[in-house]
């Protein structure tokens, strides 16, 4: 049975509000037959994760961002170690976020699920397929592949991996390839002018 612990819900959402069901009886019937509490929680996490990504994008270049990004992985690993049944749930979040072009959420969870501290958890065939499919997507460790991809993006609905951009800029600055670093910074600057709220950043990105 696929479940997400209450601790996981609170840490990711800081709330467990139930979505409003359709009022028409036949829509309610269809929703009841084909949807579950698991689906609702997955949808809630995806919606709130997307808002969180938008808010993180707007903080690009702000002091303390690196610590937030590290905290996202660390806290999620800690959460899964305390409740291993959450592993498959977050694999579903990762894959769904990737399909919906929320690359920060997908990338953060990809790093989490591959963390050495979780290697003892038995991975299902389905999750293995997810992880193998994403293996080369971002172009680790430099993440140059994700930045090249961003040159082709023409939609505000596609959200970048803040992790990839942050690491790319740091590495390029260290190598004194400042033109490439500046180009990546300019890609991210646009998100400061889009609708967002710092309050939307998920609790997992808080430094404990």
pLDDT digits (tens, 9 = 90+) for 40-89: 889 999 999 999 999 999 999 999 999 999 999 999 999 999 888 899 99
Task: Give the span between the Cα atoms of 50 and 27, in whole angstroms.
Answer: 26
Domain that holds residue 30: 21-205
**pLDDT number for residue 31:** 47
Weakest-pLDDT range from 144-148, 156-160, 193-197: 193-197
| Number of domains into which the chain is organized | 1
Burial grade of 109 (CB within 10 A; 0-12, 13-18, 19 or more): buried
The dihedral built from the CA positions of residue 122, 160, 12 and 99, taken in this order, carries a sign that is negative
The answer to the question of residue 33 being in a domain is yes
What CATH code is carried by the domain that includes residue 196?
1.10.840.10
Q: What is the pTM of this model?
A: 0.85
Q: Tell the residue number behind the tokens 């082709």, with chain if given.
A: 152
- What is the share, in percent, of the chain residues with pLDDT greater than 70? 82
The answer to the question of residue 42 being in a domain is yes
**pLDDT number for residue 39:** 85
The answer to the question of residue 200 being in a domain is yes
More confident residue, 42 or 7: 42
The answer to the question of residue 10 being in a domain is no
The answer to the question of residue 102 being in a domain is yes
The answer to the question of residue 90 being in a domain is yes
The answer to the question of residue 179 being in a domain is yes
Burial grade of 132 (CB within 10 A; 0-12, 13-18, 19 or more): exposed
């Amino acid at each position: 049975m696929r479940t997400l612990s209450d601790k996981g819900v609170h840490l990711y959402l800081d709330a467990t509000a139930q979505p409003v069901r359709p009022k028409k009886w036949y829509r309610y019937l269809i929703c009841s037959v084909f949807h579950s509490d698991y689906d609702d929680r997955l949808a809630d996490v995806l919606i709130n994760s997307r808002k969180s990504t938008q808010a993180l994008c707007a903080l690009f270049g702000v002091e303390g961002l690196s610590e937030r990004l590290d905290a996202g992985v660390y806290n999620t690993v800690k959460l899964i170690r305390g409740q291993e049944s959450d592993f498959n749930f977050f694999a579903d979040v990762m894959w769904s976020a990737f399909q919906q072009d929320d690359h920060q959420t997908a990338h953060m969870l990809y790093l989490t699920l591959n963390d050495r501290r979780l290697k003892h958890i038995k991975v299902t065939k389905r999750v293995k397929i997810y992880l193998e499919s994403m293996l080369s997507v971002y172009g680790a460790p430099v993440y140059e592949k994700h930045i090249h991809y961003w040159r082709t993006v023409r939609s505000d609905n596609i959200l970048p991996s803040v992790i990839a951009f942050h690491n790319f800029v740091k590495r390029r600055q260290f190598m004194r390839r400042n033109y490439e670093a500046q180009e990546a910074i300019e890609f991210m600057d646009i998100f400061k002018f889009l609708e967002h709220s710092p309050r939307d950043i998920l609790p997992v990105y808080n430094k404990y």
